[in-house]
Amino acid sequence: MLKKRTKYVLLISFVVLLSATSFTQMARGHSPKFIDVKFYLDDQILSVYYTHGVSNTSYHYVETVVFEFYNISSDFTSQYPPDPDYTVDKITQHDFHYYFEDHPEDFTLIAEFNETYTKQEDDSLDTQDTQIFHHNYTIADYNATLDVEYWTYIRVTAYCKLGGQYTNDIIAGHWWWDEPHSFMEALLPTALCTFFVLLPIIVWSVIGKIKEKRKVDQEVTR
């Protein structure tokens, strides 16, 4: 009986400790979960949707957003058709990030500016848990001489006041290539997650049945 109580006490203590740790991490802040970036060439307006769930918009919010604009070397852009609506063929956003890191010589920073906030505005319906907010940034308001052209590489990084950051990017006038995915590719991660979640329950159930069978066998032998 004492052993069972000890197990329950240890289990409850572990759950309480885990909950306290999670709460502490939440209190410290977290990175914005996602940034959706669009750029309108004709209007020279950068549209950004931020996803950053918080409960106190005056204490926990996106404080600073940094905007970077790069010219891309013609050695890279000449590989693709001049049509501004052309999808960047076979280059995913993920792959382009690696290209940006591995070939800094192909990028020239032409402008950089930032925006700061003192609270997080609420564009969601649930005012108790702000999730999404949106801003339009007119380039001329920050740099009157900057004319963002086709193939300008734009990076947007949002910094949480309590720590953490998230970066997303876009190539002006072009779309990222999305690799086609099969149904099985989408199903496999879900199936694996379900398996690993259920595995401890299955193992615990099997162990319980084995113990129960041993107990019955011992009673029979008596």
**Series of mean pLDDT values for 10-residue runs along the chain (222 residues):** 49 45 46 86 93 82 94 84 59 81 93 92 53 90 92 93 90 71 58 74 81 74 66
Say what the pLDDT of residue 185 is.
54
Which structure tokens are listed for 60?
């926990």
Distance CA 82, CA 86 (A): 8
Identify whether 178 is part of a domain. Answer: no
- Indicate whether 9 belongs to any domain: yes
Q: Does residue 199 sit within a domain?
A: yes
Domain range for 107 is 31-171
Q: What is the pLDDT of residue 26?
A: 42
Q: Verify that 38 and 15 share a domain, yes or no.
A: no
* Domain membership flag for residue 176: no
Q: Are residues 18 and 59 in the same domain?
A: no
To which residue do tokens 């918080």 refer?
54
Residue 128's pLDDT is 47
Cα distance between residue 40 and residue 59, in whole Å: 32
Residue at 118 is within a domain: yes
Do residue 87 and residue 162 come from a single domain? yes
CB contact at 8 A, 141 and 44 = no
Q: What share of the chain is helix, strand, coil (3-state, %, to 5)?
A: 40, 30, 30
**DSSP-assigned states of every residue in 114-144:** EEE-SS----SS-TTSEEEEEEEEEHHHH-T
Residues 17 and 57 in one domain: no
On whether both 35 and 25 belong to a single domain, the answer is no
Q: Verify that 70 and 147 share a domain, yes or no.
A: yes
CA gap 116, 25 in Å, rounded: 24
The domain tally of the chain equals 3
Both 13 and 104 in one domain: the answer is: no
Give the pLDDT of residue 14. Answer: 45
Residues 16, 37 share a domain? no
pTM: 0.64
Question: Do 40 and 24 belong to one domain?
Answer: no
**Same domain flag for 26 and 77:** no
**Are 39 and 26 part of one and the same domain?**
no
